[in-house]
Chain A
Amino acid sequence: MASTPLLQVRNLTTQFGSGAGAFTAVNDITFDVNAGETVAIVGESGSGKSVTALSILRLVPTPPGHIVAGEVVFEGIDLLKLSDAEMRAVRGNRIAMIFQEPMTSLNPSLTIGLQIAEPVNLHKGMPWNMAYKKAKELLERVRMPDAQGRLNTNPHQFSGGMRQRIMIAMALACEPKLIIADEPTTALDVTVQAQILELLKELTHETGAALILITHDLGVVARYADRVCVMYGGKIVETADACDLYERPMHPYTRGLMASIPRLDQPAGVRLVPIIGQPPNLAQLPPGCAFNPRCSEAAERCRRDTPNLMKAGDGHSHACWMVPHG
């Protein structure tokens, strides 16, 4: 066993609402992120992948949401036990976040130079003039043309791709150990998506930062992730090394996803095999395994008992009663 993981998420559970309308968005999930590695969390809308990210950073809007159980151990410290002030010293400093919508996560009335320099000034105590110099360097690192001239411009003057570069510069500002990117390229065109993801990969390699990449795109996962967690109905249903997962998907949901994506590496005439039914409503999850109403292999046990992740090989776990383990 190598050194302890950078991030250990243990039995994390996040609920929204209260009383009859309450639902569990993230349900008892456990996973690790090692230093420098890229872990993808993949799932469809409502699978709990974004709430997982927000829970790690304690950014779940409270109320209605609250983390009800679990630990988020980062560099040996349980983030859930920190005071608000201590947590603020972690956010944007040791752990940075990149959101899907760069327009709504940048402040439209502040210059980008100020927005990039702010965390450096705040967390590292660097004087503003030095922090501005650092901001310029960061803009150069994300390949912003004319970085010096752009420091005094506002976010609306940039395209979506350029705004996402600004977000990456902000995320890198304090040299974080972990970056959480929530669908960072979903709003972008494919050629720009490729540029941004290549940039993110290059910079995380350079700085040795670990990356949690949250996405719905199994192609993006295949290109960039070392390990993958597949989420469904608020739970991780399968986790494995990326190559292993694509070669031997085990959980019926993972197999269903793989068969339902149109892909360029297959003959054109191939019919897609969709997963029947609809993604679950978190407020009305079926008893037992959340996937059972859509699963062709579901048996009585699946409708009664909820499976948890069970080991099924080297670094490969899945939560299915019907697929053999070990």
Chain B
Amino acid sequence: MGIHTLAGWYPMVDNIIEVEALKVHFPVRGGFLQREVGPVRAVDGVSFFVQEGETLGLVGESGCGKSTTGLAVLRMLPVTSGKITFEGIDITNFDQNEMRPIRRRMQMVYQDPFGSLDPRMSIGDIISEPLEIHRLHNNKADRRDRVTELLLMVGIRLDMIERYPHQLSGGQRQRVSIARALAVEPRLLICDEPVSALDVSIQAQVVNLFQELQEKLGLSTIFVAHDLAVVRHVSQRVAVMYLGTIVEIASRDELYASPKHPYTKALMAAIPVPNPVLEASRAHQTIDGEIPSAQRPPSGCRFHTRCIHVMPICSEIAPELRSEGNSSVACHLYS
């Protein structure tokens, strides 16, 4: 079994990507001698996989390590420990040269469509640049055809091809970023908050575009976002992160219908629903405090300082992710 793409033939694997016990620590220096005073544990032991054609949502609040996880999977950040397997190949220790052909098959869409497009390049050039870099179409006419095809795919009018990013709206820029990422026919797309900078009416357009592209192209996606409602629309499975760890991972329906981890429950309760009648009957119990520093994470379960169900064991032993029905939860309440 295999799959033919523009970039050649690849073996079929069940899991496009497997991440095992991934840790990404950033050194912090301080004091007079600029000695290392202990790392920021941005990602601290995260394991997950993404299947062929599947979208995994990675949600959490700022500082939970969701973006760092995305960048580490692309090997754009040094990995402290753990293992990343892409299409069956261990890429954890690949250098930049070895990564280049891999990156053709895993592409990234960033949050800020203003900062991630070169203001001095036309839309056509932005989208054809990856084709040149990866030498996929050596002929100018072919490249032009591919750019046209991509613009149609993401819903950008063809007369925009000569325009520059500043002449486009936020939604259009994000469509261009998506077209650029799709140009080289990647098998894995990593999207870091791709719709959170957009206005509500435009956000819905881009969310729908993601859904269409997933259906049409069978892309595997890691969708990093803080908005649980958006993630629900595009993901088949969802992982909830807190302070560098995954606290719960489950199929979408399972997670939203019956969240198990107290943090997942608190997150859901904190999101107001656009329905005043329903809101009036909902309990507005808020969790106290804010996310602690990733430099000195709490002992045991990292959520124990804010958890309403906290038990003595929680501050001593870090709970492992365990299967609980159709989901996996890292919480002593379920072990």
- Is B158 on the interface with A (CB-CB < 8 A)? no
Known A219-B271, A222-B276, A268-B256: A274·B232 in contact at CB below 8 Å: no
Q: Is the CB of B270 within 8 A of A223?
A: no
- Is B71 on the interface with A (CB-CB < 8 A)? no
Known A222-B272, A223-B284: A268·B233 in contact at CB below 8 Å: yes
- Is B160 on the interface with A (CB-CB < 8 A)? no
How far is B279's CA from A217's CA once the two chains are assembled, in angstroms?
Answer: 14
How far is B268's CA from A216's CA once the two chains are assembled, in angstroms?
Answer: 19
Known A258-B274, A278-B171: A159·B290 in contact at CB below 8 Å: yes
- Is A86 on the interface with B (CB-CB < 8 A)? no
Q: Is the CB of A191 within 8 A of B272?
A: no
- Is A4 on the interface with B (CB-CB < 8 A)? no
Known A262-B233, A268-B252: A217·B201 in contact at CB below 8 Å: no
Pick the contact of B232: A194, A247, A268 (CB < 8 A).
A268
Pick the contact of B279: A45, A195, A222, A274 (CB < 8 A).
A222
**Dominant SS among interface residues on chain A:** helix
Q: Is the CB of B271 within 8 A of A216?
A: no
How far is B280's CA from A247's CA once the two chains are assembled, in angstroms?
Answer: 14
- Is B323 on the interface with A (CB-CB < 8 A)? no
Q: Is the CB of A274 within 8 A of B275?
A: no
Number of A-B contacts (CB under 8 A): 136
Q: Is the CB of B286 within 8 A of A194?
A: yes
| Least distance between A17 CB and chain B CB atoms (Å) | 19
- Is A161 on the interface with B (CB-CB < 8 A)? yes
**Dominant SS among interface residues on chain B:** helix
Q: Which size bracket describes the interface of A in this complex? A: 35 or more
- Is B33 on the interface with A (CB-CB < 8 A)? no
How far is B277's CA from A9's CA once the two chains are assembled, in angstroms?
Answer: 29
| Least distance between A251 CB and chain B CB atoms (Å) | 13
Most buried by B among A221, A224, A262: A262
How far is B315's CA from A19's CA once the two chains are assembled, in angstroms?
Answer: 66
- Is A256 on the interface with B (CB-CB < 8 A)? yes
| Least distance between A221 CB and chain B CB atoms (Å) | 7
Q: Is the CB of A261 within 8 A of B288?
A: no
- Is A35 on the interface with B (CB-CB < 8 A)? no
Q: Is the CB of A265 within 8 A of B284?
A: no
Given contacts A194-B284, A222-B279, A265-B274, 14 further A-B contacts (CB under 8 A): A45-B199, A162-B290, A189-B226, A190-B226, A222-B275, A222-B276, A246-B276, A260-B204, A271-B208, A272-B204, A272-B207, A274-B204, A279-B201, A294-B201
8 contacts between A and B (CB under 8 A): A192-B61, A194-B284, A219-B273, A219-B274, A222-B276, A262-B233, A263-B273, A275-B201
Top 7 nearest A-B pairs (CB, nearest first) are A219-B272, A260-B204, A274-B204, A189-B61, A275-B201, A194-B270, A44-B199
